[in-house]
């Protein structure tokens, strides 16, 4: 029986696809917690105690037997600087090997202000062990090119999240933003994943923009990875 907190934080997994080659390239781990109304995403990842994240991550990857290339896990900058979480990520990579663990660095308004040098030092702990860095939420709020530029030499992947925008993917300005970041990723030789593809119209627009790597409800909703047999399905 796991010692993970009674609130039952759990990871759900969502597929990431290469649409052009029609192949599954990996899964992203998305954390939720159980409420009287069912599983819900946390209002802020900062509200989750580091020990809960660490324990849940390690217990979750023990359940993974996936014949794919990679599994991605989200952490924000504050969590990146937490020794418990870092040790859990390193342990998880050891458990998953030869599967590659990709650390998706997200941006949250309540992140602490760490110096870029501190962030890079922690990122190198992961890359030195064969893990990869993905820059998530590019183009959102303050996460502009100047903000992410120091980390680009250490990254292998960049993600743009359509679900974080108020405008539709059919909006020309949205498409302009997507193409900008797709070009940045190409310039730095990074994979570019477009998140938030919700329907066939979004899928067709991504085709028109020549975006091959995608993620979203249209391709598969996140589903629960149980740690304990009595974890609720809903």
Structure confidence at residue 1 as a pLDDT band (50, 70, 90): very low
Q: What is the pLDDT of residues 146-191, one digit of tens each?
A: 989 999 999 999 999 999 898 999 999 999 999 999 999 999 999 9
Q: What is the pLDDT of residues 4-41, one digit of tens each?
A: 555 689 999 999 999 989 899 999 999 999 989 999 99
Q: What is the mean pLDDT of residues 51-63?
A: 89
Domain range list for the chain:
9-224
Report the alpha-carbon angle 153-105-179, nearest 5: 65
Cβ burial 98-107 (10 Å sphere, 16+ → b, else e): ebbbbbbbbb
Give me the chain's average pLDDT, please: 90
The matching CATH number, chosen from 3.40.50.11540, 3.20.20.450, 1.20.1440.230, 3.30.465.10, for 9-224 is 3.20.20.450
Q: What is the mean pLDDT of residues 201-224?
A: 96
Q: What is the pLDDT of residues 62-96, one digit of tens each?
A: 888 777 889 999 999 889 999 999 999 999 999 88
Residues of the chain with pLDDT > 90, as a percent, come to: 67
Please report the beta strands in the chain, taking only residues with DSSP state E, as ranges in sequence order.
9-18, 23-35, 38-40, 70-76, 100-106, 132-135, 157-161, 191-195, 213-215, 223-224
C-beta of residue 27 within 8 angstroms of C-beta of residue 71? yes
């Amino acid at each position: 029986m796991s010692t993970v907190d009674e609130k039952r934080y759990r990871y759900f997994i969502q597929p990431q696809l290469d649409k052009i080659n029609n192949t599954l390239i990996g899964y992203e781990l998305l954390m939720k917690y159980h409420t009287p109304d069912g599983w819900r995403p946390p209002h802020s990842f900062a509200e989750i105690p580091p020990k809960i994240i660490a324990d849940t991550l390690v217990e979750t990857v023990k359940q993974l037997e996936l014949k794919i290339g990679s599994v991605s896990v989200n952490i924000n900058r504050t969590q990146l600087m937490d020794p418990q979480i870092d040790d859990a990520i390193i342990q998880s990579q050891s458990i998953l090997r030869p599967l590659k663990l990709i650390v998706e660095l997200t941006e949250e308004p309540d992140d602490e202000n760490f110096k870029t040098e501190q962030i890079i030092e922690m990122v190198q702990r992961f890359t030195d062990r064969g893990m990869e860095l993905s820059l998530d939420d590019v183009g959102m709020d303050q996460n502009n090119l100047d903000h992410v530029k120091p980390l680009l030499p250490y990254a292998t992947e960049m993600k743009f999240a359509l679900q974080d925008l108020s405008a539709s993917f059919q909006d020309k300005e949205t498409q302009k933003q997507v193409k900008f970041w797709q070009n940045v990723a190409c310039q730095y030789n990074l994979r570019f994943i477009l998140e938030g593809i919700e329907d066939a119209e979004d899928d067709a627009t991504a085709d028109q923009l020549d975006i091959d790597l995608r993620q979203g409800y249209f391709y598969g909703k996140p589903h629960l990875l149980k740690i304990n047999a009595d974890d609720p399905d809903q």
